[in-house]
Amino acid sequence: MLRYFTAGESHGEALVAFLSGVPAGLKVEQAALDRELWRRQQGYGRGGRMKIERDAAHILSGVRQGLTIGSPISVRLENRDWKNWQDALPVAEGNPALHKRVASPRPGHADLAGALKYNFPEARYVLERASARESAARVAVGAIAKVFLREMGIDVFSHVIAVGMISVEKEVPWQEIAALYDRPEILLNCADPEREQQMKAEIDKILRTGDSLGGIFEVVAHGVPPGLGTYAQWDERLDALLAAAVMSLQAVKAVEIGSGIASATSLGSSVHDEIGYGEPADFTSFTRTHNNAGGIEGGVSNGEEIRVRGYLKPISTLRRPLQSVDFSTREPVRAAYERSDVCVVPAAGVAAEAMVALTLARCAIDKFGGDSMGETLRNFRGYCQQLKDY
Ligand code: EPS
């Protein structure tokens, strides 16, 4: 079973991530991890922190001579900002006078709920772990999941479909989404150049007002065979696993599979993807009129593209802060502000690619098993033959 978890504070020395359950013999190159980390750092609307960080995942274990060896993989990402925080966030007791308090909780952030839960007098430690910086560690191990999926011909990419009120209305075909990956600059990772410029202008406008913006990204997985996930048990349904994985990303407040939201107010006759039979395609000869199901029916992948959308609330750190209360005096004050991004929708999309890839890799390993890539791929190919013979 594929398992992973992360550790690290936003301004601590480093982030670390662990990934276990990857079969032996998968070729893993540092560059594949760094490319994904670079993508997550891009996007118009990021704040000052991204000028400091140059994320690179240093692989500590589980990979030797360029190949996975079946033992747990661990990676370390240095926080360059740590040098500015060593005295404020020491591991040892340090000097309490140098501690940087977060004096008033930001509405929308974990600050207040976290301080109440852990009985902290203010929100510094809450911010440190709740921060979206943590998603960099997921992207590092997600890059390994992507390399694993690639061996089966599965690719996972994302694109931005809305920033604030500016949105792309039409369904964007896979080729256009995949082409975004090769662009030298991510900008807003939007496949519609005109809309992308409008999104950029919207961010500039919001930046001037001191407010913040949310948006919508879509992750698309291409080449997924039918049969990942199962309806047999509630917590093994692929849509449930993907929803949890994407919802777990910082600032995501809703997740949609396919055209799930619109389908709730549409007729069944226009929603469901009618079935036909034609020429042999990648996995089977069954065809669909469209893909409103987003590639999943009954919690099982059906061979169509998997489409998962994440809806991001506007960033909760506002330069023109909202009303809050001072942790010490309980007097009304404005919420704390250090610095922040204005828009992170493209970055969140990249982090969601990692979560989708990790989820699909987990389901693929559950289905095909194998302790070495040779064994896993043999099982995979045998299953593909079974689908062809069906
Ligand atoms: C974040 C606040 C900002 C963001 C950060 C998430 O960091 P800082 O407080 O250091 O300016 O830049 O995102 C990242 C560091 C990152 O790598 O994505 C927050 O409070 O969630």
What atom in ligand 1 is closest to the CA of residue 10?
15
CA of 367 to the centre of ligand 1 (A): 37
Rounded to whole angstroms, how far apart are CA atoms 162 and 171?
A: 12
Residue with tokens 């079969």: 23
CA of 54 to the centre of ligand 1 (A): 13
Mean pLDDT (the chain) is 97
What atom in ligand 1 is closest to the CA of residue 131?
21
Find out whether the beta carbon of 338 lies less than 6 Å from any atom of ligand 1: yes
Phi, psi of 77 (to 5 degrees): -120, 120
CA of 46 to the centre of ligand 1 (A): 9
CA of 353 to the centre of ligand 1 (A): 19
Residue 210 has pLDDT above 90, yes or no: yes
Could you say which DSSP state residue 132 is in? G
Give residue 201's pLDDT.
Answer: 97
Ligand 1 probe mutation, 341, 342, 343, 345, most atoms within 8 A of CB: 341
How far from the centroid of its chain's Cα atoms is residue 79's Cα?
19
Give residue 208's pLDDT.
Answer: 93
Nearest to 348 by CA among 40, 134, 44: 40
Give residue 173's pLDDT.
Answer: 98
Find out whether the beta carbon of 131 lies less than 6 Å from any atom of ligand 1: yes
DSSP 41-80: H-STT--THHHH----EEEEESEETTEE-SSPEEEEEE-G
Ligand 1 probe mutation, 80, 89, 131, most atoms within 8 A of CB: 131
What atom in ligand 1 is closest to the CA of residue 47?
12
CA of 315 to the centre of ligand 1 (A): 10
Would you mind telling me the total number of residues written for the chain in this entry? 390
What atom in ligand 1 is closest to the CA of residue 136?
17
Find out whether the beta carbon of 9 lies less than 6 Å from any atom of ligand 1: no
pLDDT-derived band at 338, boundaries 50, 70, 90: confident
Mean pLDDT, residues 288-307: 98
pLDDT-derived band at 137, boundaries 50, 70, 90: very high
CA of 3 to the centre of ligand 1 (A): 26
Q: Answer whether 106's CB lies under 8 Å from 317's CB.
A: yes
Where helices occur in the chain by DSSP H, the ranges are 30-41, 49-52, 111-118, 124-130, 135-150, 174-180, 193-209, 238-247, 260-263, 268-271, 345-368, 373-389
What atom in ligand 1 is closest to the CA of residue 251?
21
What atom in ligand 1 is closest to the CA of residue 135?
18
Report the nearest-CA residue for atom 12 of ligand 1. 49
Q: For residue range 138-181, what is the model confidence (pLDDT) as tens digits? A: 999 999 999 999 999 999 999 999 999 999 999 999 999 999 99
Give residue 190's pLDDT.
Answer: 98
Find out whether the beta carbon of 133 lies less than 6 Å from any atom of ligand 1: yes
pLDDT-derived band at 95, boundaries 50, 70, 90: very high
Report the nearest-CA residue for atom 10 of ligand 1. 49
CA of 124 to the centre of ligand 1 (A): 13
CA of 291 to the centre of ligand 1 (A): 36
Q: For residue range 353-362, what is the model confidence (pLDDT) as tens digits? A: 999 999 999 9
Q: In the chain, where are the structural domains located?
A: 3-389
The architecture of the domain spanning 3-389 is: 4-Layer Sandwich (3.60)
Q: For residue range 225-275, what is the model confidence (pLDDT) as tens digits? A: 999 999 999 999 999 999 999 999 999 999 999 999 999 999 999 999 999
Nearest to 194 by CA among 167, 217, 225: 167
CA of 151 to the centre of ligand 1 (A): 33
Find out whether the beta carbon of 49 lies less than 6 Å from any atom of ligand 1: yes
Find out whether the beta carbon of 340 lies less than 6 Å from any atom of ligand 1: yes
Provide the 10 A C-beta neighbour count for residue 205. Answer: 12
